[in-house]
Amino acid sequence: QVQKLVQMVSKPSPGAPLLRSPAQPSSQSGEHVCFTLVNIIRLSEYFIFETKVVCALSTIQVFRVQCRQLKFDKGKSLLSGNHVAFDYNPTLEILYVGARVVAKYKDGNLVWLYAGIVAEMPNNKNRMRFLIFFDDGYASYVTLPELFPVCRPLKRTWEDIEDASCRDFIEEYITAYPSRPMVLLKVGQIIKTEWEGTWWKSKVEEVDGSLVKILFLDDKRSEWIYRGSTRLEPMFNLKMTTANTAEKKLAGQQRTRPNMGNIHTQLHACSLHTVFDPVLRDVSCGRMLSAPNTVTPIFTQPFQRPPLVTVPPPITLPPPITHAMATIPHQPAYRAPTDRIFYLAHTCQPACLNRVRPANSDLHRGKNPLLTPLLYDFRRMTGRRKVNRKMSFHVIYKAPCGLCLRNMAEIQHYLFQTRCDFIFLEMFCLDPYVLVDRPFQPQRPFYYIHDITGGKEDIPLSCVNEIDSTPPPKVAYSKERIPEDGVSINTSSDFLVGCECTDGCRDKSKCSCHQLTLQATGCTPGAQINPNAGYLHKRLEECLPTGIYECNKRCKCCSHMCTNRLVQHGLQVRLQLFKTQNKGWGIRCLDDVAKGSFVCIYAGKILTDDFADKEGLEMGDEYFANLDHIESVENFKEGYESEAHCSDSEGSGVDVSRIKIQPSALVSSNPVGRPPKKGTDDEKPPSMPEETGKSKVASWLTSQGLKKVSQVSTGGGGENVSKNTRLFFDGEESCYIIDAKLEGNLGRYLNHSCSPNLFVQNVFVDTHDLRFPWVAFFASKRIRAGTELTWDYNYEVGSVEGKVLLCCCGSTECRGRLL
């Protein structure tokens, strides 16, 4: 019966690794074939108990065991398979990075057993040992005879760890593996190490593989720490280099690397942990903790975990799911292949991708775009190099044919050589701190919809409410602009400038569309043309006030290979609509977003100024956005924005307030909407420049003609300047308005922040009419998965007399008020 039980337990659950029974399993009565893992304290400590299996329920993976131990009364417990481990050593074949095990921990002459995760497989660098991250945050090297496999580990093994900080670290480590930046240290080196929120001067005593032994010089304590921990000042500085001030302050309080190590004092062995709450342990059952100045340790008695109660899986209902047990479908995590790709000298051609070229180009649509190349057998590897005595990390891609791609230019050239029409340049990222497989998984929501767009977007836009069961507002979804009565947008190709490029528009000097973007930059103060303006490898590093002209339907270039087509391809980043605590509904990303990546556009009904006034009085104008691209560039050219502070949303050319509060202000997704129209054209022009397409006017009209217009308008004041260019369009005097209140896309839900992570950019796609640019949002910084996407509305405080609008962004740089 015992042998049958071992065979039944060894059957793998879906997604779990196969655990083989020992070569010669014992079937004699009285011998124990497994031991249980009983969680006795918050640090997820597990102790051995002699067990006798009474029965096993394989269908629900729960085992009933009878436990006997000297310090505990006899009793029976109901344990799940992930809390039971075999009492034999596993074979090397069933172990991998992320495998759930029980390992022996040694501290001097004391040995205990703890549950943990395999963090490193044996190799020559670690002297053929396993690196184990224990559940309580410690790390240690062990050998194969010191490991015991868990019977039925969870598919996502880190979910078995109770402490949130350690669980998040393990998840990030496993999903990012083999990319794991570590600091390079030498014996005797002096560095600063964080302990209990303070940086202490310390010295490197010993380096053992991925661990380093640190000696604190103040009290002579020593501690083993994982070399990738941000407790080490070099790692902390490296991760915070490109972060803004707010992120630095937050990272100083919430570290993503736990304190992994064992500290030894001169008087006795002890363990100190700063990420988790210190807990004192019995010296006979586990490691002990004491304060730095304490000589005599204090011990506590462990207690037995209460029996686990099995809960049947929730019933999946058609969306929306509004009950408390709503679950979100979980996609299997990506696991990097272990086989190696060898390169043989050759000239790359389309045949290099024949092995992975899909019959359906939409095979992986809906997944993280940065993960797509890896799903087609590209490899993304992180390395480190020393430049000017400073260690830096870099990313390289390896193509399916074995060719190493070291920078974006080589990736772009490779895609063009192989005529790759299913993987695009924006799907590659060389930022080592952008993880391509770190999906955000929200908690169980009260309300869930798989796709609120009804399939109108190329990527599903899910909706969750983790606060209550309130559904999102009913809005007719449209990913395109909708001209209303009185609005005529000429999208005929006869009124477009097109290129005849055959190289994917990589040479900006020969691409007519690129030249429109470049020449437009000459309309800014100083009249200096920026030769680097526009997209750089399908990313926009900063806002371009004079606008971007993408290739269009008149161009001869290939729409798949063109490097000047981005916004027109639509939504590519996986986003989610969610209910915030105090700002209504907001948008967050489900995957890491690289800096400069296109996120989404702002769509809705396009109204005339007169019609918008009437509709604003009847329906409200909280989702109005002025298309004042022309006025923004004219004001910027004349120096009205000379004193404006640099903002992530400046230069967008979109005024969300009907009173021209700020050109970069767009729409709010919360009940706190924009102020009603109370101003006139005589009010102060926007203080933040918006991107515009004055370059188009520069292309269509002679530069001398523009200068004449400017000279004539200079004497008339700033108001005349904002009207002169618009007068070319049949004498129009007011801009058009986008209204997304009743019909629009996800852009209407983007909230305000005084420290935003998005900026606004005007893009000309289907028309070169300066009055109708596309309003696009781009990432102004690296954005971690699960972060809310925000931009700066740039309202001017006090611009509306008698109206006060408080800011609830929660940023460390919050200005306190919007109005």
pLDDT score of 77? 65
CA 660 vs. chain centroid, Å, equals 33
**One-letter amino acid of 340:** R
Higher pLDDT, 674 or 765: 765
What DSSP line would sit under 643-696, residue for residue? TPPP-TTTB---B-STT---TT----SSSS-PPPP---TTSPPPSS-B---HHH
Beta-carbon contacts of 323 under 8 Å, excluding residues fewer than 6 positions away, are 317, 446, 469
**Joined tokens for residue 536:** 């750089």
CA atoms of 14 and 59, how far apart (whole Å): 12
Whether 587 has a pLDDT exceeding 80, the answer reads: yes
Higher pLDDT, 677 or 465: 465
pLDDT score of 93? 85
**Joined tokens for residue 569:** 């391809």
| 3 state SS of 232 | strand
Residue 570, judged by CB atoms within 10 A of its CB (0-12, 13-18, 19+), counts as: middle
CA 702 vs. chain centroid, Å, equals 46
**Joined tokens for residue 381:** 């590897």
Least confident range of 267-281, 309-323, 514-528, 661-675:
267-281
Could you tell me the CA-to-CA distances from 33 to 60, 87, 176 in Å, in that order? 20, 6, 35
Could you tell me the CA-to-CA distances from 558 to 343, 501, 503, 550, 561 in Å, in that order? 29, 9, 9, 13, 5
CA atoms of 100 and 112, how far apart (whole Å): 17
pLDDT score of 305? 34
Higher pLDDT, 796 or 775: 775
pLDDT score of 617? 81
CA atoms of 229 and 119, how far apart (whole Å): 14
Beta bridge partners of 241: none
**Joined tokens for residue 354:** 């024949």
Question: In terms of DSSP H, where are the helices of 145-218?
Answer: 164-176
Whether 223 and 214 have beta carbons less than 8 Å apart is answered as yes
Could you tell me the CA-to-CA distances from 602 to 175, 420, 431 in Å, in that order? 33, 30, 27
Please count the other Cβ atoms lying within 10 Å of the Cβ belonging to residue 76. 11
pLDDT score of 243? 56
Whether 613 and 677 have beta carbons less than 8 Å apart is answered as yes
Whether 525 has a pLDDT exceeding 80, the answer reads: no
| 3 state SS of 246 | helix
**One-letter amino acid of 313:** P
Please, what is the average pLDDT of the chain?
A: 74
Tell me if the domain spanning 181-300 has CATH number 2.30.30.140. yes
Choose among 40, 74, 444, 55: nearest CA to 280.
Answer: 40
Whether 168 and 151 have beta carbons less than 8 Å apart is answered as no
| 3 state SS of 42 | coil
Backbone angles phi and psi of 123, in degrees to 5? -155, 180
| 3 state SS of 158 | helix
Q: Secondary structure of 286-334 in the HEC alphabet? A: CCCCCCCCCCCCCCCCCCCCCCCCCCCCCCCCCCCECCCCCCCCCCCCC
Kindly indicate the confidence band of residue 751, based on its pLDDT and cuts at 50, 70 and 90.
very high
Kindly indicate the confidence band of residue 75, based on its pLDDT and cuts at 50, 70 and 90.
low
Strands 624-627 and 736-744: antiparallel
How large is the average pLDDT for residues 58-85? 56
Higher pLDDT, 372 or 253: 372
Please count the other Cβ atoms lying within 10 Å of the Cβ belonging to residue 209. 15
Beta-carbon contacts of 204 under 8 Å, excluding residues fewer than 6 positions away, are 185, 186, 187, 188, 189, 190, 191, 212, 213, 214, 215
Residue matched to tokens 């991250």: 133
Kindly indicate the confidence band of residue 327, based on its pLDDT and cuts at 50, 70 and 90.
low
pLDDT score of 535? 96
Choose among 611, 678, 631, 652: nearest CA to 750.
Answer: 652
pLDDT score of 800? 76
CA atoms of 351 and 417, how far apart (whole Å): 10
pLDDT score of 656? 52
How large is the average pLDDT for residues 529-546? 93
State pLDDT tens for residues 490-505.
999 999 999 999 999 9
Higher pLDDT, 604 or 309: 604
Strands 790-791 and 751-752: parallel
Least confident range of 419-423, 603-607, 634-638:
634-638
Could you tell me the CA-to-CA distances from 193 to 202, 211, 217, 224, 766 in Å, in that order? 6, 14, 11, 12, 55
Whether 624 and 608 have beta carbons less than 8 Å apart is answered as no
pLDDT score of 10? 52
What DSSP line would sit under 362-403, residue for residue? TTTTTS-TTTHHHHTT-EEEEEEEEETTEEEEEEEEE-TTS-
State pLDDT tens for residues 126-154.
889 999 988 877 888 999 998 998 888 88
CA atoms of 603 and 743, how far apart (whole Å): 8
CA atoms of 401 and 377, how far apart (whole Å): 9
CA atoms of 68 and 88, how far apart (whole Å): 19
- Percent of the chain surpassing pLDDT 90: 34
Least confident range of 304-308, 420-424, 442-446, 626-630:
304-308
Higher pLDDT, 294 or 381: 381
- Helix (H) or strand (E) run with residue 518 in it: helix 512-520
Domain locations in the chain as residue ranges: 2-160, 181-300, 352-427, 575-791
Choose among 240, 234, 242: nearest CA to 214.
Answer: 234
Beta bridge partners of 465: 447
Whether 553 has a pLDDT exceeding 90, the answer reads: yes
Beta bridge partners of 132: 118, 140
How large is the average pLDDT for residues 718-740? 71
pLDDT score of 589? 96
Query: Can you give the pTM of this predicted structure?
Result: 0.57
Helices 245-253 & 233-240, crossing angle to 10 degrees?
140
**One-letter amino acid of 679:** G
- Omega before 472 within 30 of 0, i.e. cis: no
pLDDT score of 67? 47
Beta-carbon contacts of 103 under 8 Å, excluding residues fewer than 6 positions away, are 113, 114, 115, 116, 130, 132, 134, 140, 142, 146, 147, 148
Whether 458 has a pLDDT exceeding 80, the answer reads: yes
- Percent of the chain surpassing pLDDT 70: 69
Whether 122 has a pLDDT exceeding 50, the answer reads: yes
**One-letter amino acid of 733:** E
Kindly indicate the confidence band of residue 735, based on its pLDDT and cuts at 50, 70 and 90.
confident
Choose among 25, 16, 26: nearest CA to 98.
Answer: 16
**One-letter amino acid of 197:** G
pLDDT score of 125? 85
What DSSP line would sit under 410-458, residue for residue? HHHHHHHHTT-SSS-GGG----TTS-TT----PPPPSEEES-TTTT-SS
Tell me if the domain spanning 575-791 has CATH number 2.170.270.10. yes
Whether 203 and 233 have beta carbons less than 8 Å apart is answered as no
Kindly indicate the confidence band of residue 321, based on its pLDDT and cuts at 50, 70 and 90.
low
Higher pLDDT, 97 or 268: 97
Backbone angles phi and psi of 159, in degrees to 5? -70, -15
Choose among 807, 674, 661: nearest CA to 740.
Answer: 674
Higher pLDDT, 305 or 417: 417
Which CATH number is associated with domain 352-427? 3.30.890
Choose among 210, 208, 209, 214: nearest CA to 188.
Answer: 214
Q: Secondary structure of 101-127 in the HEC alphabet? A: EEEEEEECCEEEEEEEEEEECCCCCCC
CA atoms of 17 and 14, how far apart (whole Å): 9
Choose among 540, 546, 538: nearest CA to 522.
Answer: 546
Kindly indicate the confidence band of residue 370, based on its pLDDT and cuts at 50, 70 and 90.
very high
Least confident range of 156-170, 451-465, 685-699:
685-699
Residue matched to tokens 């217009």: 709
pLDDT score of 3? 57
State pLDDT tens for residues 614-667.
888 888 778 888 888 888 888 776 654 444 444 444 445 555 544 333 333 333
pLDDT score of 139? 87
Whether 625 and 657 have beta carbons less than 8 Å apart is answered as no
pLDDT score of 400? 94
Beta bridge partners of 131: 120, 141
Beta bridge partners of 200: 193
CA atoms of 278 and 196, how far apart (whole Å): 11
